[in-house]
């Protein structure tokens, strides 16, 4: 199944079409599958980009389109709505319209978004009943529909912080993919300076060759290649880091994103350092569940260097971040929001 998904995504990519949104479906639906099952809700895939949530007791159905559609998806969705009186919700976790105007994003990426909006969303929109998004900014763009504000649920972080016991290295991670390379670029000199000052620091990114252009790989720096989501999904829970970085430039695109990195940092046992973008301003209690930094190389270099001298504080921030995430991303709350749309 995973090989099929990979091949289909590669095929879509080659044709300039959006790929299957496996991460979005996982983080907003699959993660709370157990909580939905407790409430008598089953999950069934519909086409390539949609999921059916069905209340077995009441016989009600909700079709959730996850980010994109295909021609076949649209046919199946229309058929299902008509034959099962199903409601239709659109799950979107990025502000596509703002992204189209951002020249900092890759041209081919923006072309895929434009292709989807012009060819597919225009036909999906008349069928919609509701929109689900982690950002009020996105909901405001689609204000004609019932809007549900839903942040991603937590990733069941472990309370085991044994990796803080006398570590040989202080392991730092940047989990952003290549789409966040421009965000990382500006603060990279500050991060590189912190590494130079403290040989115990080690940085891991998922930026591959692009990361190597920003901070040279070496004994203190590892740039892994971006991973297809199923591999990443298997890799991430097995990792333990001490500090997680989310240096996203405050701009309309990043303000429309989710707080997923907050939950990913908790999953790997890391204290999070975040820029002052809306998703993190809304979820991070500065100095307690993470640190909020100005989007400036010096601020990030000094933030890392200072925190590296306080191992007990790093551990406390990591523990508090995980605790906060369990509350902010409570599975039962998310499941109830889905139920409210049935």
Tens-digit pLDDT profile for residues 51-103: 999 999 999 999 999 999 999 999 999 999 999 999 999 999 999 999 999 98
Exposure on the CB side of residue 75, measured as CA atoms within 13 A: 5
Within-domain flag for 155: no
Within-domain flag for 280: yes
Does 298 lie in the same domain as 219? yes
How many domains does the chain fold into? 2
Does 313 lie in the same domain as 199? yes
**Domain end: 150, 175, 205, which one?**
150
Average pLDDT of the chain, as a whole number: 94
Does 222 lie in the same domain as 133? no
Q: Given strand 130-133, what is the order of strands in its sheet?
A: 41-46, 50-55, 60-66, 87-91, 130-133, 146-149
The CATH number for 218's domain is 3.40.50.2000
Residue 248 to residue 281: CA distance in whole angstroms: 12
Does 230 lie in the same domain as 98? no
Tens-digit pLDDT profile for residues 241-251: 999 999 999 99
Matching residue, tokens 């983080």: 27
Within-domain flag for 15: yes
**Domain end: 150, 170, 185, which one?**
150
> Cβ(91)–Cβ(67) under 8 Å?
yes
Within-domain flag for 336: no
Does 177 lie in the same domain as 96? no
Domain that includes residue 73, residue range: 2-150
Q: How confident is the model at residue 166 (pLDDT cuts 50, 70, 90)?
A: confident
**Domain end: 100, 119, 150, which one?**
150
Q: Structure pTM?
A: 0.93
CA 36 to mean position of chain CA atoms:
21
Does 103 lie in the same domain as 170? no
Within-domain flag for 323: yes
Would you give the end-to-end CA distance of the chain in angstroms? 29
């Amino acid at each position: 199944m995973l090989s099929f998904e990979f091949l289909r995504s590669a095929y879509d990519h080659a044709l300039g079409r959006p790929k299957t949104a496996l991460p979005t479906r996982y983080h907003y639906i699959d993660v709370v599958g157990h909580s939905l099952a407790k409430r008598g809700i089953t999950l069934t895939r519909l086409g390539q980009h949609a999921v059916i949530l069905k209340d077995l007791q009441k016989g009600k159905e909700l079709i959730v389109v996850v980010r994109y559609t295909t021609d076949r998806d649209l046919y199946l969705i229309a058929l299902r709505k008509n034959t099962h009186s199903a409601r239709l919700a659109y799950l979107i976790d990025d502000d596509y319209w703002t992204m189209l105007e951002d020249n900092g994003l890759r041209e081919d990426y923006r072309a895929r978004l434009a292709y989807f909006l012009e060819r597919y969303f225009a036909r999906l929109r008349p069928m919609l009943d509701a929109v689900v998004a982690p950002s009020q900014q996105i909901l405001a763009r689609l204000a004609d529909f019932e809007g549900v504000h839903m942040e991603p649920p937590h990733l069941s972080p472990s309370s085991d912080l044994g990796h803080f016991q006398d570590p040989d290295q202080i392991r730092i991670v940047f989990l952003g993919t290549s789409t966040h390379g421009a965000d990382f670029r500006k603060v990279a000199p500050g991060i590189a300076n912190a590494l130079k000052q403290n040989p115990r620091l080690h940085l891991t990114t998922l930026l591959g060759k692009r990361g190597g252009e920003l901070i040279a790989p070496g004994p203190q720096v590892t740039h892994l290649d971006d991973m297809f989501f199923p591999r990443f999904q298997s890799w991430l829970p097995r990792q333990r880091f001490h500090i997680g970085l989310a240096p996203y430039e405050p701009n309309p695109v990043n303000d429309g994103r989710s707080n997923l990195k907050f939950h990913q940092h908790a999953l790997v046992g890391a204290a999070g350092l975040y820029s002052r973008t809306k998703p993190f301003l809304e979820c991070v209690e500065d100095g307690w569940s993470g640190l909020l930094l100005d989007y400036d190389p010096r601020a990030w270099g000094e933030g890392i260097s200072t925190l590296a001298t306080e191992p007990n504080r790093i551990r406390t921030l990591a523990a508090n971040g995980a605790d906060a995430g369990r509350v902010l991303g409570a599975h039962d709350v998310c499941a109830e929001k889905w139920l409210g749309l049935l």
